[in-house]
Amino acid sequence: MQINSKYRLQNFPLKLRVIRAFDFEIEPILLLEKDLIGNNFLSYLIFSDFEKEQRAYIQVSQERLNEILTNEISLNSAFEKPENEFIYIAEFSHNTGQTLDSFLVPVSLISEALVIPKNYVVNYEKPKNEVVLKENDLLDFSERKQKIVFDFYLQSQNLVNNIKPYALYKVFTPIIEIIKNMLEFDNRNADKYLAFSNLRQASFGITIELNYSHDLFFQKETTVIENLILLLNAQSKEDFETVLHNTKNDNYLKHYITIIKAIIDNNADLHTAYANPVTKDIKTNTLNKERAEIAKKIIDETLDVIEDVEEIKGTFLEIDIDRKEPSFKIYSFEDEFTVKGKFELSILDKVKNDFVNIGKETYVFQIKTLYFPETTLKSEEIKRYLIDYQKKSE
Amino acid sequence: MWKEKLPINCPPSSAKELDFEAYRILKSEEPNEDDFLPYVYLHPENERYKTLCEAYAISSFDSENNAIKAWKGALKRGKKIGSYITKVEISKTDGRNDFNPKSGHFSTWLYESKNYDTFECVNIKLIDAN
């Protein structure tokens, strides 16, 4: 198509990336492209010989895009009434993909030249599972946010109408706990390093935004999220050994076991994807019931008991040292929950001699948690022991 | 598994192994492996389409009419992609296919074991543009 040179642009102002083809028959006819900040552009192939291709572009909102894809409005109408009244035409070299020429043209030129045939129908069938974010969309999102992003999507028949508590407490929260554990921060700093977006229902999807390093390289969070993907992907003893080798402790395994048990019990599929705005890496994983059962079998056969020691800042709620196995109940200020367990015998004298003020004084407790995985003979068991505590001065 | 290094999540999960007869445009009466190259290999240095899944598939059609309709579309846009049309058998062992029933277009992502020069072309004939 010949275009009057008065419409010529010195430089094509859009830096676009091809995201998806809505019509690809022999050559790419109708494409979705995105600019650097994630705006959608529809591009239609006007001309193509063996040297170059010429494409017409309109910017479209998500709503307008949906209308076009469902043929509520025709592509021809969309180009005749572009939302922002601009139509670009760009020519690209077939050999290099570089822009050869570009124009900003009036709408009338497009309609008079019948650039988009009036009878052109978009033959695109939208995938049913759009709630799982497309990898390129996720990378765009991470680039816009300048953060590592980890997309979480849990799919199960029992989540179609609403989100059940297990999805939050036994899958999503444990994922967050694994991230916190591997990055070595607690709830006090959670708001600083984590944020959530793209909440989707039917089933349950959410994007976790992560910026721990607060720099341009995201080195530590990259290592951690890649290790998390390895963990969710692990299907052999060697896979688990690789993950364990990359981490300082194995405390996160108890959260991982909670996740795989919830997936098995609910016949759920956990789709996860990670995008890195620096390396442009995208990694995905799907953990379904079958894969979760394989992982659980390896964990149960390999690990007899998982030990974890954590510090909790809080107050005593109950102390019973007269029982055969003296017990305690404490309240965590940071996580706002109660923890019950038994005193380790070595600190019993200290407890007896201290004048502990229940419910008033603040302590830093050292709690040892022993997690016994489920076996064919017995169900899983968690035991907690108070191994030390220090009074926190006001 | 795949003949080419494909972009992530390519082919789409909807792509299936199928046995079908397809129609494809050829440059000449003597087919060679260049006639079955995916779009991305026609211009290997072109960065624009390197992450586009469909660019790694070979195109074919469910009928001679649909193939010629697409050929005419390309011709109208400025490119004569070939002058001959052939029928080829595509089998489940060749790769995975996405089919658009509205246009009759197949995208086929080949398995590693399938070579571009092993498509058996039958009924090769000059395209009748009328």
- The neighbour count for residue A391, using CB atoms within 10 Å, is 12
Are residues B43 and A94, on separate chains, in Cβ contact within 8 Å? Answer: yes
For chain B, say whether A21 makes contact (Cβ under 8 Å). Answer: yes
- Whether residue A127 is predicted with pLDDT greater than 60 in this model: the reply is no
Are residues A26 and B47, on separate chains, in Cβ contact within 8 Å? Answer: no
The token pair at A287 is: 């953990």
- Chain B residues in contact with A49 (beta carbon < 8 A): 78-79
Q: CATH 2.40.50 spans which residues of chain A?
A: 307-391
CATH fold label, A307-391: OB fold (Dihydrolipoamide Acetyltransferase, E2P) (2.40.50)
Best A15, A17, A23, A25 member to test B by mutation, with max B CBs in 10 Å, is A25
Helices A173-183 & A253-266 angle (0-180, nearest 10) = 160
Write the burial class of residue A347 (CB in 10 Å: 0-12 exposed, 13-18 middle, 19+ buried).
Answer: middle
- Whether residue A128 is predicted with pLDDT greater than 50 in this model: the reply is no
CA A244, CA A307: separation in Å to the nearest integer? 14
Are residues B46 and A17, on separate chains, in Cβ contact within 8 Å? Answer: no
Give pLDDT tens digits for A262-289: 999 999 999 998 898 888 888 888 899 9
For chain B, say whether A135 makes contact (Cβ under 8 Å). Answer: yes
Give pLDDT tens digits for A295-336: 988 888 777 777 778 888 999 999 998 888 899 999 988 777
SS3 of chain A: helix, strand, coil, percent, to 5? 30, 35, 35
DSSP H helical ranges for chain A: 62-69, 75-80, 107-112, 135-145, 165-166, 173-183, 190-193, 219-233, 237-245, 253-266, 289-302, 348-353
Are residues A92 and B39, on separate chains, in Cβ contact within 8 Å? Answer: no
Candidates A47, A134, A136; nearest CB to B77: A47
For chain A, say whether B22 makes contact (Cβ under 8 Å). Answer: no
ipTM given for this complex = 0.93
Are residues A121 and B102, on separate chains, in Cβ contact within 8 Å? Answer: yes
Q: Are strands A381-391 and A337-343 parallel, antiparallel or unpaired?
A: parallel
Per-residue model confidence (pLDDT) at position A145: 83
The CA radius of gyration of chain A, in Å to the nearest whole number, is 28
CATH fold label, B20-126: ADP-ribosylation fold (3.20.170)
Give pLDDT tens digits for A176-230: 999 998 988 888 888 889 999 888 876 688 888 888 887 777 888 888 999 999 9
